[in-house]
Structure 1
Amino acid sequence: MLTTLTSILPIFLIIALGLALRKGGIPSTDFWNLNDKLVYWVLMPCLLFTKISLAPIEAASLGLYSITILGGFVAALLFGLIVPRLAGFSAPPATSILQGSARHNSFIGLAMAANLYGQQGFDIAILATAILVPVTNIVMVVLMVSTLQTRSSGYLPMAILRELARNPYVIAILLAVLVNRFVGDRIPVVHEISDVLGAGALPITLLAVGANLRVRAMAARVMPIVLSFVGKMMVFPLAVLAIGLMVGLPQNVLQIAVVYSVVPTGVSSYTLSKQLGGDAPLMAAIVTVQTLFSAITIPISLALLLPLVGSVTAAVSN
């Protein structure tokens, strides 16, 4: 556990630094607002394109990996859909619980995989991003619109489709898959540019995650925060572990999948909630609480789950 803690501690210290910089007005509030757009439109798409387009993708392993990652997502999604309804929450807070349960912070997952397992871990984790990002964006938008449709204007579904069509992450991943499939090698100039820009994505994004935390939002309602925490920090990783063991995912790949699954919900959940008429203050509270508490829950979860991966896979192979 100590090794895991020391490996991921720098990630959360960088996030804390981002929060401290924003509170200190360094460099300015306007900078952090513009920084979010830079990461969203340029840096992270370049990182996704570079890594996925050059990744050695094996169809068999990728299929089992996809089943495992998407299985965890579906389990958390069902939890986030059913439990709020049973608890009697209205549509806006229910959608916040849904996003808090099933969305993921890819940036923290990628950084953890790299710190714990090096370049191989990062390459495996980037494939999880390629699998989850398009699916998550499409599913969440469709479910939220259908849930909040009484609050939505008639042209909103078409507007959402346009937004999905120009989503930079989705575009970057689709282009990367095409290059990987039909080119299979570096493209001169294109990959040099994406290498340079993508190299700055993770550190800048982690700072931005911290800068976007709203500690005062933690005073919001307790029950929705707890439910989303259970969905994301318990249902999601346990489903990934169970499905990965059932389908026989290789040990090193399953370990990365587990690492990737224990991260908090994505910061972009707040933006989507605000745009579609959800409970944005509650969503901000959920993001903040999960991100802050993940500094404690992630080491504990990995200390419990990763040895289990090794022991079960060893027992199966024997």
Structure 2
Amino acid sequence: MFTIPLAIAPIFVLIATGYGLRRAGLPSAEFWNLNDRLVYLVLMPAIFFDSISTADLGAAALGGFSALLYAGFFVGILAGLIGAGLMRHHGRAAGSSLVQGAGRFNTFIALAVAGALYGPEGLELAILGAAILVPVVNLTVVTTLVLMLPQERGTGIGGQITATLKNLAKNPLILSIAAALAWNLAGLPRVPVFHDSLEILGQAALPIMLLCVGANLKLRGLSAEAGPLFLAAIAKLGLFPAAIMGLALILDVPPLQAQIALTFGALPTGVAAYTLARQMGGDAPLMAAMITVQTLLSFATMPLWLSLGERVFGL
């Protein structure tokens, strides 16, 4: 009964530790800002490339797995758009943050949970899941925000989409995924020193990423209306995983694939949503509140969803 909560409790302890260290000024605010860049530019690309470039992509059909991930994500985005329409009196900036809060997810937590609960096989599946989702999520979310916020940006939609595509082409995560897939499909072997170094970086990645997740939470000075926070939480922590679970039963997806997809569904909104909200004229304070509230709520909701998933999928 308590297996899943106990297994993922250290993950949330590390998140809480990161929050406490940053608020205590340890080591310094600059340290955490640089650590964010280290994760983004080095650690995440390393773990993605190491795993994807050496994975046996033909060992298991991933069509159903991909369908679950995309279904959950697009249900979340659609729910966010409907919520933004219902609460249009809050303004388009708030609506754009609601869309992000309903559809985006924290990949760092997904990798940590999958590894903690389901070992190397679960971690590899989670990395493949992130590879399947990351390009589509980035393109969909940014394009949606461009369409929602054209006046705030003061430039044409076409120009913004072109700029978005250029930024995505330079995204280290997407570049590492593309390079790893090319390596894998070319049938290139595992290179001892090169891949061993990436593996060591990958082992360092997860604890550092979790500390950074906590360091980026903002509990002090949060000010946001309850309506958008509630709608985003319902969409992300309720509808997103429910859609994945329902479709998994219809498609009869292998149990572990279904459970890893459900893990993505049960995740809180990712911290990158705050940066994007600031860059594109969204409601950044509301976005910060959504990230914090959902991360706190997921302490309780994620074990519930995953426990239910193990029973339903027969793990």
Q: Which bracket does the TM-score occupy, shorter chain normalised?
A: over 0.9
Whole-angstrom distance in 2 between the partners of 1:60 and 1:198: 23
Q: Contact 2:105 / 2:269 at 8 angstroms: preserved in 1?
A: yes
Matched residue type, 1:10? P
Q: Which among 260, 267, 283 is matched to residue 279 of structure 1?
A: 283
- In structure 2, the residue matched to 1:132 is 133
- In structure 2, the residue matched to 1:158 is 162
CA offsets, 1:185-212, max 9 Å, x none?
A: 3134432332222221111010000011
Whole-angstrom distance in 1 between the partners of 2:187 and 2:36: 31
Whole-angstrom distance in 2 between the partners of 1:198 and 1:74: 29
Q: TM-score, normalised by structure 1?
A: 0.94
Greater displacement, 217-226 / 5-14: 217-226
Matched residue type, 2:50? T
Whole-angstrom distance in 2 between the partners of 1:225 and 1:242: 25
CA offsets, 1:213-232, max 9 Å, x none?
A: 00025442111111110111
- In structure 1, the residue matched to 2:28 is 28
Whole-angstrom distance in 1 between the partners of 2:168 and 2:147: 16
- In structure 1, the residue matched to 2:303 is 299
Whole-angstrom distance in 1 between the partners of 2:313 and 2:302: 16
After TM superposition, give the deviation of residue 60 of structure 1 in Å: 6.1
What is the identity percentage for the equivalent residue pairs of Structure 1 and Structure 2? 44
Q: Contact 1:217 / 1:282 at 8 angstroms: preserved in 2?
A: no
Whole-angstrom distance in 1 between the partners of 2:269 and 2:250: 26
Whole-angstrom distance in 1 between the partners of 2:52 and 2:296: 30
Matched residue type, 2:106? N
- Structure 1 moving runs of 4+ over 6 Å: none
Q: Contact 2:223 / 2:286 at 8 angstroms: preserved in 1?
A: no
Whole-angstrom distance in 2 between the partners of 1:188 and 1:208: 30
> 1:1-318 residue pairs with structure 2 within 5 A?
1-58=1-58, 61-88=61-88, 89-154=90-155, 155-310=159-314
Whole-angstrom distance in 2 between the partners of 1:217 and 1:159: 33
Whole-angstrom distance in 2 between the partners of 1:175 and 1:26: 36
CA offsets, 1:107-166, max 9 Å, x none?
A: 101111111111111111111101111110111111101110111132543332221110
Whole-angstrom distance in 2 between the partners of 1:20 and 1:292: 14
Whole-angstrom distance in 2 between the partners of 1:136 and 1:61: 22
After TM superposition, give the deviation of residue 59 of structure 1 in Å: 7.5
Greater displacement, 5-14 / 252-261: 252-261
Q: Contact 1:133 / 1:170 at 8 angstroms: preserved in 2?
A: yes
Q: Contact 1:15 / 1:209 at 8 angstroms: preserved in 2?
A: yes
Matched residue type, 1:56? D
Matched residue type, 2:21? L
SS where residue 27 of structure 2 aligns?
coil
SS where residue 216 of structure 1 aligns?
coil
Gaps of 5+ in 1: 312-318
SS where residue 265 of structure 1 aligns?
coil
After TM superposition, give the deviation of residue 87 of structure 1 in Å: 2.9
Whole-angstrom distance in 2 between the partners of 1:139 and 1:303: 30
After TM superposition, give the deviation of residue 266 of structure 1 in Å: 0.6
Matched residue type, 1:40? Y
RMSD: 1.6
Whole-angstrom distance in 2 between the partners of 1:80 and 1:306: 28
Matched residue type, 1:21? L
Q: Contact 2:49 / 2:177 at 8 angstroms: preserved in 1?
A: yes
Matched residue type, 1:264? P
Matched residue type, 2:83? V
Whole-angstrom distance in 2 between the partners of 1:296 and 1:215: 18
CA offsets, 1:233-271, max 9 Å, x none?
A: 011111111111111101122122212321101110000
Q: Contact 1:218 / 1:288 at 8 angstroms: preserved in 2?
A: no
Give the paired residue count: 311
- Pair 1:61–1:78, CA change in 2 (3 A): same
Q: Contact 2:240 / 2:265 at 8 angstroms: preserved in 1?
A: yes
